[in-house]
Amino acid sequence: MPAHSYGEYSINLPVADLTGGLAMVALRYATKVNRWSPITVGPRFLAPHPYFRKSAKRLNALQFTKRNEPRFWEQRGYSVYGDL
């Protein structure tokens, strides 16, 4: 499942990670006084288990595909889960 952000950056993560609670789309954040504020520059796609390198700022599209194609980090030699 590619997640695309502005600036031609995209990441690739299995759909099972998103549906299994290993990744999330953040639309708001907690402030210092325990209030929720919206993320105004675009949602964030967060995937903490592969060292946060799979996170994407300013998410603009989620794409569901049948094939696992290499994206930004995989094209530079990294594996899907961050272990070389």
pLDDT in tens, 6-60: 877 888 888 888 888 888 888 998 888 878 888 888 888 888 776 677 778 888 8
Domain that holds residue 39: 2-76
Residues 6 or more apart whose Cβ sits within 8 Å of residue 13:
1, 3, 23, 47, 50, 54, 80
Query: Cα(14)–Cα(68) distance, rounded to whole angstroms?
Result: 8
Q: Helix, strand or coil for residue 42?
A: coil
Which is more confidently placed, 84 or 7? 7
**Is the residue at 56 inside a domain?**
yes
The number of folded domains in the chain is: 1
Degrees (nearest 5) of the Cα angle 10, 16, 21? 90
User: Is residue 30 one of the residues assigned to a domain?
Assistant: yes
Q: Report the predicted TM-score, pTM, of the whole model to 2 decimal places.
A: 0.69
